[in-house]
């Protein structure tokens, strides 16, 4: 037997017959040609059953030609390279391709699940709402495992996608979606006018419908004209041609997503997919149209297919979808398809035209007849034709055939138009849903706009190209539009079905006409509800072939016009886009931003355990040999409090403020006064939101008369910058203030502990560190470890402490030099956990306390606020809600049982008996304090300060934990601040 029994001896403009390719389908070796799609390869090899249907596991074959294919979804590749749910019509054949059918066991040809088809009666529309309900315990034991095995499409690949997927952003004056005659004409006109054009088409070759059937443009072959136009476009530097690229999404502001697939013979290293994000000034939608099915019993049998596809396989690939064909339809295209098939070698058994008075002397024409039933189970073996006028006595004509090519008319691909929120209209007479008012800077042309004659498509495409170019500012003369002698309207009367039986509407989801009618009988009215109830149009083909039929059936069942039924919402993507393509460049090592401080290499070498702080990573603690995490953190605290520690605070936000109104500005953005600062001195500052809640805190240092340097918390740095820029640009534009983000420029480390003065004295010999020369909250520029530095005396840990800032390029040098110098001083590096313990022992607040709900007074910082201030947020503090009694206030909780530890998520309760009762408040921060030898917490507690000395309970009702604690001042340690002096 010949390897490609259904391949013609010659012809097929997409294939290269010089070298056959081998490929496997479901374990069987086949042969095809370079240029084939998997679908054409399977048809050439005579494989008729290429899929099993979703619900009934009925055998299915190729129905369509391109993106509209509802039936044949396969898994291509094996193992890591397996790609499930690809349409066979869109997979380019390549040497050694291994593909397999889905939703079938052991294979699509012999599927045990096929028995379900016999039991179809128990799986009507919405069966999952009705059946498998009883007995309840059977659900987990039987129904669900069974259904999981039977349902669904291809399995998700077990391993991560190892292929490379690319992305590209591009700007264009005109994006043309679709490279058929209308699209190519539009692109050519726009490009000649001078516009920057992107032309994208889903096929390997431009031509659209001309790929499937010959046509005439000018005085010659249509495809030759397309090739010449393509060559001209190729030569223009401002034009980009994308083949195998589907425009899948139309988003706001004319951003369109184009998914490009690699060619079958692409060299290794070529990205498997490339997503193009096209920002286009104007869009021409020339997406063509999809052929509609006809509904009759057995219309899903392998061998029943779209007539234009059947013609297309012969014309483009030299492949016969059958040897003896019945062609049935409601429009003139059946005759051209019949002649095309006949010339390719198919014997034409009958051409059934639903219209009564049509004739074609050269063909076995059956006017006024349609297919009522297709015979055969594993493939079609015959068709029963019957009169469409229902005249009595018609016994029908049974015709043997192995191909039923159906032509139900065309549905314009209005998807992109509708995705852009354009409105649709229903043309009752022509039975077409057409684009109406566009929802963006776009225009539809050609078949997508309901023009089905070649001449009209060319003219409309050309005009759209000229207009789109003009709208984007390009008006050079483009010349004359191409013409075609084909001016047939191509319209079809609305005709859908004949007879009863299992008439499939949605082939992919196994939805029959009866299912739609049932939904209507059960009271479903909205087309959106019917879609969800029956699953019609919910498959990966998104109802490209089935949508219109479903709509008409529903309207008929409800007895109302189609226009009133309306359509379901068209949402992106138009065709499926692989998740791996969308994730490209966003996942995997190094793809998400990881911010490192200048000393990061040292932390890593030292084996620090990091914690994430936004995008930053910060050392949480430095593990020590022979001890656990808790011990290491406690040691860092103890050794810092007893000697000297160093911590990387390079992540803090830093802002340089200059300009003659700098001091006045800071008085307005901070709740406490900054203008009274002397040069060289600093102050803790509190920033409020407009509603009076604490926004951020930090330290403000005055470096000169109109020059300040301030710090923000790591978390709020961007928010603070934005806040200040907003105020300067819109609220007080009259102030001359320049706020510059210098966070990235400065690295900073803090030395803390009684030994810090001695160590810094050694590292900065020129700096007088006496309390007189360098008091608390003072700043000096100095050389530290021979590096140009700013030294601040301030303390977060409660110890004598200095923060040293150097330009970040010197950051690692500062860090390592201080550690070297600190060796004799017992200098210990500590991480954020030890820092957190020390700040908690001192009662300093963080965003756990300043959580967006607390006022300065709630946090015990009320005295910092100047009552007369015009500062942001201060006026709101007078609101009754913020002054009422009973607000939660910050307190310290000292756990009475020294052995107790506090788990996360604790409430503060009056009693510890776990009875449901409103809590007094909640724990905001907690730690075990190695300094005080017990667990401590900060908490926001109702009337907290008045409860000082009382016993409350720290409780976690969900874990059953409770322990007694005394309410104390939040400053647990060194309340007098003696240690700050060292």
Partner 1 sequence: MADDATDARRSALAGLDLGSRAGGAGGVLLGEGPARESFVLRGPVDDPAFAQAVETALGAGPALEPGEARECREDALLIRLGPDEWRLVAPLSDDGRLAARLASELAGGRGALVNVSSASTVITVAGEHAADLLATGTGIDLDPAAFPPGRAARTRIGNAQALVHRRAEDAFELHVPRSYARSFWEWLEERGREFDAAVAL
Binding site for partner 1 (CB under 8 A): 164, 166-171, 196, 269, 271, 277, 279, 585, 588-598, 600-601, 615-616, 656, 658-660, 736, 738, 740, 742-747, 783, 786-788, 807-814, 817
Query: What is the smallest separation between the CB atom of 184 and partner 1, expressed in angstroms?
Result: 23
* Minimum CB distance to partner 1 smaller for 108 or for 663: 663
The secondary structure of 463-486 as a DSSP string is HHHHHHHHHTT------PPP--S-
Query: What is the smallest separation between the CB atom of 869 and partner 1, expressed in angstroms?
Result: 26
Task: Give which of 781, 786, 809, 824 is closest to 599, Cα–Cα.
Answer: 809
Residue with tokens 């004799």: 824
Query: What is the smallest separation between the CB atom of 174 and partner 1, expressed in angstroms?
Result: 14
Query: What is the smallest separation between the CB atom of 559 and partner 1, expressed in angstroms?
Result: 50
What whole-number distance in Å separates Cα of residue 746 and Cα of residue 90? Answer: 55
595 C-beta neighbours (distance < 10 Å), count: 16
Query: What is the smallest separation between the CB atom of 604 and partner 1, expressed in angstroms?
Result: 8
Beta bridge partners of 199: 176, 241
Tokens of 746: 């400065």
What whole-number distance in Å separates Cα of residue 791 and Cα of residue 814? Answer: 12
Query: What is the smallest separation between the CB atom of 541 and partner 1, expressed in angstroms?
Result: 30
10 C-beta neighbours (distance < 10 Å), count: 8
Query: What is the smallest separation between the CB atom of 433 and partner 1, expressed in angstroms?
Result: 34
* Minimum CB distance to partner 1 smaller for 362 or for 744: 744
Query: What is the smallest separation between the CB atom of 790 and partner 1, expressed in angstroms?
Result: 12
* Minimum CB distance to partner 1 smaller for 54 or for 616: 616
Query: What is the smallest separation between the CB atom of 658 and partner 1, expressed in angstroms?
Result: 4
* Minimum CB distance to partner 1 smaller for 75 or for 273: 273
What whole-number distance in Å separates Cα of residue 440 and Cα of residue 681? Answer: 58
Phi, psi of 315 (to 5 degrees): -75, -45
* Minimum CB distance to partner 1 smaller for 736 or for 910: 736
Q: What's the distance, CA 941 to chain centroid?
A: 42
* Minimum CB distance to partner 1 smaller for 347 or for 740: 740
* Minimum CB distance to partner 1 smaller for 660 or for 875: 660
Query: What is the smallest separation between the CB atom of 611 and partner 1, expressed in angstroms?
Result: 16
Task: Give which of 406, 388, 431 is closest to 298, Cα–Cα.
Answer: 406
* Minimum CB distance to partner 1 smaller for 131 or for 270: 270
Query: What is the smallest separation between the CB atom of 806 and partner 1, expressed in angstroms?
Result: 8
Q: What's the distance, CA 549 to chain centroid?
A: 31
Give the number of residues written for the chain. 982
Contact criterion met (CB below 8 Å) for 900 and 891 = no
* Minimum CB distance to partner 1 smaller for 521 or for 660: 660
Query: What is the smallest separation between the CB atom of 779 and partner 1, expressed in angstroms?
Result: 16
Residue 707: CB partners within 8 Å, gap ≥ 6?
656, 657, 658, 662
Query: What is the smallest separation between the CB atom of 739 and partner 1, expressed in angstroms?
Result: 9
Query: What is the smallest separation between the CB atom of 469 and partner 1, expressed in angstroms?
Result: 15
* Minimum CB distance to partner 1 smaller for 255 or for 367: 255
Residue 94: CB partners within 8 Å, gap ≥ 6?
21, 23, 264, 265
Query: What is the smallest separation between the CB atom of 808 and partner 1, expressed in angstroms?
Result: 4
* Minimum CB distance to partner 1 smaller for 263 or for 783: 783
* Minimum CB distance to partner 1 smaller for 28 or for 606: 606
Tokens of 358: 């049509």
What whole-number distance in Å separates Cα of residue 756 and Cα of residue 802? Answer: 7
Query: What is the smallest separation between the CB atom of 844 and partner 1, expressed in angstroms?
Result: 25
Q: How far is CA 967 from CA 911, 931, 947, 978, in A?
A: 14, 18, 6, 23
What whole-number distance in Å separates Cα of residue 357 and Cα of residue 58? Answer: 37
Q: What's the distance, CA 615 to chain centroid?
A: 21
* Minimum CB distance to partner 1 smaller for 287 or for 787: 787
* Minimum CB distance to partner 1 smaller for 216 or for 736: 736
* Minimum CB distance to partner 1 smaller for 147 or for 781: 781
126 C-beta neighbours (distance < 10 Å), count: 18
Residue 453 DSSP code: S
Alpha-helix residue ranges (DSSP H) falling in 64-210: 115-118, 127-130, 138, 144-150, 181-192
Task: Give which of 19, 412, 52 is closest to 209, Cα–Cα.
Answer: 412
Query: What is the smallest separation between the CB atom of 470 and partner 1, expressed in angstroms?
Result: 18
What whole-number distance in Å separates Cα of residue 835 and Cα of residue 621? Answer: 10
Task: Give which of 172, 282, 169, 181 is closest to 238, Cα–Cα.
Answer: 172
Contact criterion met (CB below 8 Å) for 452 and 471 = no
Query: What is the smallest separation between the CB atom of 812 and partner 1, expressed in angstroms?
Result: 5
Contacts by 31-34 with C-beta closer than 8 Å and gap 24+? 31/3, 31/4, 32/4, 32/93, 33/7, 33/93, 33/317, 34/93, 34/264, 34/265
What whole-number distance in Å separates Cα of residue 446 and Cα of residue 366? Answer: 31
Contact criterion met (CB below 8 Å) for 174 and 190 = yes
* Minimum CB distance to partner 1 smaller for 268 or for 918: 268
163 C-beta neighbours (distance < 10 Å), count: 18
Residue 356: CB partners within 8 Å, gap ≥ 6?
367, 368, 388, 389
Contact criterion met (CB below 8 Å) for 340 and 315 = yes
Rg for the chain, CA atoms, rounded: 38
Phi, psi of 636 (to 5 degrees): -60, -40
* Minimum CB distance to partner 1 smaller for 502 or for 618: 618
* Minimum CB distance to partner 1 smaller for 658 or for 876: 658
What whole-number distance in Å separates Cα of residue 872 and Cα of residue 874? Answer: 6
């Amino acid at each position: 037997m010949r390897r490609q029994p259904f391949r013609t001896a010659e012809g097929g403009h997409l294939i290269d017959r010089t070298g056959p390719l081998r490929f496997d389908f479901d374990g069987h070796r086949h042969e095809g040609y370079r240029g084939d799609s998997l679908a054409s390869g399977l048809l050439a090899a005579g494989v008729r059953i290429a899929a099993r249907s979703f619900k009934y596991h009925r055998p299915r074959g190729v129905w369509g030609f391109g993106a509209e294919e509802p039936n044949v979804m396969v898994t291509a590749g094996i193992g890591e390279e397996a790609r499930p749910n690809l349409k066979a019509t869109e997979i380019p054949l390549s040497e050694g391709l291994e593909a397999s059918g889905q939703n079938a066991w052991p294979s699509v040809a012999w599927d045990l699940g096929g028995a379900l088809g016999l039991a179809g009666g128990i799986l009507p529309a919405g069966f999952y709402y009705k059946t498998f309900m009883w007995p309840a315990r059977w659900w987990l034991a039987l129904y669900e495992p069974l259904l999981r095995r039977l349902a669904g499409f291809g399995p998700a690949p077990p391993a991560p996608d190892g292929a490379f997927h690319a992305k590209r952003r591009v700007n264009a004056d005109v994006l043309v979606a679709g490279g058929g005659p209308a699209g190519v004409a539009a692109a050519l006109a726009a490009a000649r006018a001078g516009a920057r054009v992107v032309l994208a088409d889903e096929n390997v070759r431009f031509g659209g419908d001309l790929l499937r059937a010959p046509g005439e443009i000018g005085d010659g072959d249509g495809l030759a004209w397309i090739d010449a136009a393509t060559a001209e476009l190729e030569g223009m530097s401002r034009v980009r041609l994308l083949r195998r690229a589907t425009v899948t999404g139309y988003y706001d502001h004319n951003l369109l997503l184009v998914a490009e697939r690699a060619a079958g013979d692409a060299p290794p290293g070529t990205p498997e997919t490339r997503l193009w994000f096209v920002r286009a000034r104007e869009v021409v939608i020339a997406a063509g149209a999809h052929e509609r099915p006809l509904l009759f019993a057995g219309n899903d049998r392998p061998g029943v297919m779209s007539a234009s596809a059947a013609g297309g396989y012969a014309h483009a690939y030299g492949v016969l979808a059958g040897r003896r064909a019945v062609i049935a339809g409601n429009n003139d295209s059946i005759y051209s398809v019949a002649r095309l098939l006949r010339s390719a070698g198919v014997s034409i058994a009958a051409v059934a035209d639903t219209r009564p008075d049509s004739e074609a002397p050269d063909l076995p024409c059956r006017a006024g007849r349609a297919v009522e039933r297709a015979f055969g189970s594993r493939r079609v073996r015959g068709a029963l034709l019957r009169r469409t006028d229902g005249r009595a006595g018609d016994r029908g004509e049974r015709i043997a055939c192995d191909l039923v090519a159906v032509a139900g008319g065309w549905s314009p691909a209005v998807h992109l138009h509708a995705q852009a929120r354009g409105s649709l209209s229903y043309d009752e007479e022509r039975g077409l849903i057409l684009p109406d008012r566009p929802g963006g800077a776009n225009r539809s042309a050609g078949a997508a706009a309901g023009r089905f004659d070649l001449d009209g498509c060319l003219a409309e495409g050309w005009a759209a190209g000229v207009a789109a170019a003009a709208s984007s500012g390009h008006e050079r003369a483009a010349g004359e539009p191409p013409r075609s002698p084909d001016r047939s309207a191509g319209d079809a009367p609305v005709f859908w079905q004949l007879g009863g039986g299992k008439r499939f509407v949605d082939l992919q989801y196994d939805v029959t006409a009866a299912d739609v009618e049932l939904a209507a009988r059960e009271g479903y009215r909205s087309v959106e509800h019917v879609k969800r109830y029956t699953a019609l149009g919910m498959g990966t083909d998104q109802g490209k072939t089935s949508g219109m039929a479903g709509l008409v059936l529903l309207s008929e069942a409800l007895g109302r016009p189609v226009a009133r039924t309306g359509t379901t919402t068209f949402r992106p993507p138009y065709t499926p886009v692989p998740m791996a393509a969308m994730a490209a460049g966003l996942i995997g090592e190094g793809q998400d931003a990881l911010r490192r401080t200048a000393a990061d290499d040292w932390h890593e070498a030292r084996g620090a355990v990091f914690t994430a702080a936004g995008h930053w990573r910060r050392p949480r603690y430095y593990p020590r040999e022979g001890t656990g995490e808790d011990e290491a953190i406690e040691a860092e605290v103890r050794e810092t409090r007893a000697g000297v520690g160093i911590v990387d605070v390079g992540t803090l936000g830093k802002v340089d403020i200059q300009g003659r109104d700098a001091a006045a500005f800071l008085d307005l953005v901070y709740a406490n006064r900054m203008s009274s600062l002397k040069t060289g001195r600093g102050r803790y500052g509190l920033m409020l939101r407009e509603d009076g809640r604490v926004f951020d805190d930090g330290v403000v240092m005055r470096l000169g008369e109109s020059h300040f340097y301030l710090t923000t918390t790591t978390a709020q740095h961007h928010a603070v910058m934005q806040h200040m820029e907003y105020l300067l640009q819109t609220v007080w534009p009259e102030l001359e203030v320049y706020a510059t983000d210098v966070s990235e420029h400065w690295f900073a480390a803090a030395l803390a502990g009684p030994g810090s003065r001695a160590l810094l004295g050694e590292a900065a010999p020129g700096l007088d560190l006496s309390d007189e020369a360098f008091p608390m909250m003072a700043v000096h520029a100095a050389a530290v470890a021979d590096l140009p530095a700013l030294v601040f005396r301030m303390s977060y840990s409660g110890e004598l402490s200095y923060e040293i800032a150097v330009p970040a390029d010197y950051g690692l040098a500062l860090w390592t030099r201080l550690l070297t110098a600190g060796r004799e001083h017992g200098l210990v590096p500590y991480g954020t956990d030890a820092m957190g313990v020390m700040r908690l022992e001192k009662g300093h607040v963080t965003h756990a306390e300043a959580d967006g709900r607390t006022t300065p007074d709630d946090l015990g910082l009320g005295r910092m606020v100047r009552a007369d201030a015009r500062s942001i947020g201060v006026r709101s503090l007078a609101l009754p809600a913020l002054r009422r009694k009973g607000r939660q206030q910050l307190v310290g909780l000292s756990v009475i049982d020294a052995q107790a530890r506090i788990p996360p998520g604790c409430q503060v309760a009056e009693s510890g008996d776990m009875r449901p009762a409103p809590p007094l408040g909640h724990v905001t921060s907690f730690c075990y304090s190695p300094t005080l030898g017990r667990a401590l917490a900060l908490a926001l507690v109702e009337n907290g300060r008045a409860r000082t000395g009382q016993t409350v309970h720290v409780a976690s009702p969900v874990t059953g934990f409770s322990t007694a604690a005394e309410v104390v001042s939040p400053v647990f340690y060194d309340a007098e601040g003696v240690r700050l002096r060292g």
